Amino acid sequence: MATKSFVLKVWRQDGPDSPGTVEDLTEYAKDVNEHASFLEMLDLINERLMADGKRPIEFDSDCREGICGQCGCVVNGQAHGSQRGTTVCQLHMRSFEDGQTIVVEPFRATAFPVIKDLVVDRSAFDKIQQAGGYVSVPTGPKPDANSFKIGKEVSDRAFDAAACIGCGACVAACPNASASLFTGAKITQFALMPQGAPERKRRVSRMVETMDDLGFGHCSNIGECEAACPKEISLESIAIMKREYLKAMLAGS
Ligand code: FES
């Protein structure tokens, strides 16, 4: 079994109002299986910390398959680490050098307050989603399978936007802490499809205004969000959101 050891520094913060500090956990980061995922490495560190009677590192995770969007932290200054298109739960220790320094911090944004260590409150995303990120389905008989004709190119673009897992890496990576990539993806997946047409104007105006109210910054087209996104959501989503919003405003929605 090939193992690696790391110089590990982790952000520790007891609660939302505590100051927080970087703790050197190098002594716990020795002989880590190089095929362990990043979160499995944190599990191992936690077992060792608890064996020493110390508080384990708090971090979020659920599926550990890059699907749910629950995990997320900043690894060496990059949201989800440096491997493109990869969540931190799918990042493996073989991609790090033996002896490498690894600094782990929470996602930082005013709208994502730190709860404890690497855990942040991302409920602001839920509020944006609740403001309009859905389609209403009338009751009645189900529509025939082919009653909506949708071209492959359009359905592919809508599907790409729908791949957003809402992890918040886009906000953490953006110098303005903008949620435009997330909100744009959630608007785009419906704006391109006929099923999203009835609530189109109301959806974009409510979601964009909720995003602004929650303390996220504005998009200034830097593009860090696209580079950090583990699902490689395109900046096109932001362009579509802006166009949809302008149309809604001109229509008085
Ligand atoms: S734990 Fe589900 S995406 Fe990482």
**Which superfamily, per CATH, for 3-116?**
Beta-grasp domain (3.10.20.30)
Q: For residue 68, give the ligand 1 atom closest to its CA.
A: 2
Q: For residue 60, give the ligand 1 atom closest to its CA.
A: 1
- Pocket lining: 204 vs ligand 1, CB cutoff 6 Å: no
Task: Tell how far the Cα of 43 is from the centroid of ligand 1, in angstroms.
Answer: 14
Q: For residue 88, give the ligand 1 atom closest to its CA.
A: 4
**Could you give the strand order of the β-sheet that contains 74-75, starting from the edge strand earlier in sequence?**
21-24, 7-12, 101-105, 74-75, 78-79
Task: Tell how far the Cα of 142 is from the centroid of ligand 1, in angstroms.
Answer: 34
pTM attached to this predicted model = 0.94
Task: Tell how far the Cα of 148 is from the centroid of ligand 1, in angstroms.
Answer: 33
Task: Tell how far the Cα of 250 is from the centroid of ligand 1, in angstroms.
Answer: 40
Domain map (residue ranges) of the chain: 3-116, 123-250
One-letter amino acid for residue 17 of the chain = D
> Which pLDDT does position 123 carry in this prediction?
97
Task: Tell how far the Cα of 92 is from the centroid of ligand 1, in angstroms.
Answer: 13
> Domain 123-250 belongs to what topology?
Fumarate Reductase Iron-sulfur Protein; Chain B, domain 2 (1.10.1060)
- Pocket lining: 37 vs ligand 1, CB cutoff 6 Å: no
Let me know: does 95 contact 88? Beta carbons within 8 Å: no
* pLDDT per residue rounded down to tens, the chain (253 residues): 799 999 999 999 999 999 999 999 999 999 999 999 999 999 999 999 999 999 999 999 999 999 999 999 999 999 999 999 999 999 999 999 999 999 999 999 999 999 999 999 999 999 999 999 888 877 788 777 777 788 999 999 999 999 999 999 999 999 999 999 999 999 999 999 988 998 999 999 999 999 999 999 999 999 999 999 999 999 999 999 999 999 999 998 6
- Pocket lining: 81 vs ligand 1, CB cutoff 6 Å: no
> Which pLDDT does position 28 carry in this prediction?
98
- Pocket lining: 163 vs ligand 1, CB cutoff 6 Å: no
Q: For residue 69, give the ligand 1 atom closest to its CA.
A: 3
Cα within 13 Å of Cα(31), Cβ side: 2
Task: Tell how far the Cα of 49 is from the centroid of ligand 1, in angstroms.
Answer: 23
What's the token pair of residue 237?
């989503």
